[in-house]
Amino acid sequence: MNIDHIEAFVYINHYGSFNKAAEVLFLSQPTVTARIQSLERELDSRLFDRLGKQIQLTEKGKQFLPYAQQILQTYQKGKHHLHSRSGTPEELRIGSTVSVSNYLMPHLLMLLHQRFPLINIKVTTGPTDVLAAKLTAKEINLAFARKQMSPAFQSYPFYDDPIRLYVYKDHPLAAAGSASIRDIRREPLVFFECGSLDWMRIHRAFESLEQPPNIRFQVDHAETAKKLVLSGAGICFLPGLSARHEVEEGNLVPVDILETAGVSLQTHLISLSGENNVFMEALLELGAPPINDLHVPIEKLD
């Protein structure tokens, strides 16, 4: 009996959907269906009944479920035991910049829990230089931060968050959808400065103007900047992740600025060279979810 077939059966029952189980297992829906069909042939029993778009366990399925759960749990415990003996820690300590902690980390933590259900995860939020120091001191295992050039670190691109101009919904530029730096030279700006080199291109875009930009507020937190824009105090260049909910709700509108096209906030996955490869590989395999997927509620885990 194939453990993958058992896993598919348990996940389908847990999530109540072939499609959702396929998504969580990073498989296609036909692959999950084929695994259940193979398991049913092995057991010579039908495990699920379909009622329209809903599915439910058959009586045979209900009888088999506790044994399947026990088999899968025993397998996961054995796998974790082998990893633990080869140096996998019982606690994973992750460092993260504020933007990743606020907007990506909840989703990533749930995916990590699914992949490593017996490992406790602790998250520390801070700027890149602080996180790099914590990595060096081995106070954290890995970090989501800006790229590190030191040979002491292994650093892999993880997520590019496009930086765009955002205006409140009643702003004249909201209907236009695009503008130039010259078009906004007199607009009151809320300038969010995150201390990254990625923002230098935003600064340089204003250098072609005969007068400096009208910076009304300068803040160091995206949420503060966003709330100022929502209140009508000005307009602001923001990373897309920080504004996604407000854009979905129609309260903020992105405006494309030709001179800043392609500017993004780049996040790398970083660890000490040669360490924590099991988790690094898992996170790189999982990758950052598409921005449109982040509003989807994640099912409660057992």
Tell me the domain boundaries of the chain. Answer: 3-85, 91-159+265-293, 163-263
- Tokens found for residue 264: 């993004």
Identify the CA nearest to 144 among candidates 294, 267, 285, 282: 267
pTM of the model: 0.60
Q: How confident is the model at residue 302 (pLDDT cuts 50, 70, 90)?
A: very low
- Cβ-contact 233, 214 below 8 angstroms: no
The residues, any chain, with a CB within 8 Å of residue 193's CB and separated by 6 or more, are 199, 218, 219, 220
Cβ neighbours around 214 below 10 Å, total: 12
Give the strand pairing for 153-168 and 236-239. Answer: antiparallel
Residue 169 has pLDDT above 60, yes or no: yes
In tens, the pLDDT along 23-38 reads: 878 789 999 999 999 9
3-85 in CATH: which number?
1.10.10.10
Q: Which residues lie across from 269 on neighbouring strands? A: 144, 156
Residue 291 has pLDDT above 80, yes or no: no
Residue 21, classed as helix, strand or coil, is helix
| CATH class given for the domain over 91-159+265-293 | alpha beta
Q: Return the CATH superfamily for domain 163-263.
A: Periplasmic binding protein-like II (3.40.190.10)
Are 91-159+265-293 and 163-263 equal in CATH topology? yes
- Cβ-contact 184, 258 below 8 angstroms: no
What whole-number distance in Å separates Cα of residue 128 and Cα of residue 17?
40
In tens, the pLDDT along 244-286 reads: 889 999 999 999 998 888 888 889 999 988 888 888 988 988 8
What whole-number distance in Å separates Cα of residue 17 and Cα of residue 252?
34
